[in-house]
């Protein structure tokens, strides 16, 4: 990767003249936008005082649109707002995990997430993941496992 030299006007309070190597930790770079791979198909730009991301699949999207709940939901994501210090409860049936519940505290008053493992003939047949917001069920994702003999042939999922 090459170092960039640009007209740096000021650094650490001192005025500078001429081209300077950009300090990637401390310098700001002012530009209309950023274009990737020399193509307008992939760029970060501004419009109406907002950041706009452009790519060939999603076209141009303003940051504020991407951060709205419904737009954000379609992105691959980890579940948000899961406390790192939640209380975990694991239930087993005949030695196999059947339910895992994350509780907000050991008092088990507020569920955070629940995963239910269903079996048929001793084999996993579905996984139901329930996500809670402030203890209220927010969404459920059900994965159904289809088998051909002993082998998994497909897994399909439905969000509700």
How many angstroms separate the first and last alpha carbons of the chain?
A: 46
pLDDT recorded at residue 108: 92
User: 127 or 27: which carries more pLDDT confidence?
Assistant: 127
Query: What is the structure's pLDDT at 10?
Result: 63
pLDDT exceeds 90 at position 89: yes
pLDDT tier at 70, thresholds 50, 70, 90: low
Phi-psi region of 108 (alpha: psi -120 to 50; beta: other; left: phi over 0): left
| Domain ranges (residues) in the chain | 1-30, 33-73, 87-159
The helix/strand count (H/E) of the chain reads as 2, 14
């Amino acid at each position: 990767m090459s170092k960039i030299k640009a007209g740096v006007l000021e650094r650490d309070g001192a005025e500078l003249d001429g081209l300077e190597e950009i300090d990637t930790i401390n310098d700001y770079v002012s530009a209309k936008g950023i274009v990737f791979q020399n193509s307008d198909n992939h760029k970060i730009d501004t419009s109406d005082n907002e950041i706009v991301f452009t790519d060939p699949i999603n076209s141009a999207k303003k940051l504020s649109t991407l951060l709205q709940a419904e737009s954000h939901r379609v992105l691959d994501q980890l579940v948000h707002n899961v406390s790192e210090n939640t209380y975990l409860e694991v239930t087993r049936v005949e030695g196999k995990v059947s339910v895992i519940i994350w509780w907000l505290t050991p008092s088990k008053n507020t569920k955070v997430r629940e995963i239910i493992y269903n079996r048929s003939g001793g084999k996993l047949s579905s996984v139901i993941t329930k996500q809670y917001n402030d203890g209220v069920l927010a969404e459920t994702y059900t994965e159904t496992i289809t088998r051909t003999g002993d082998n998994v042939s497909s897994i399909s999922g439905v969000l509700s």
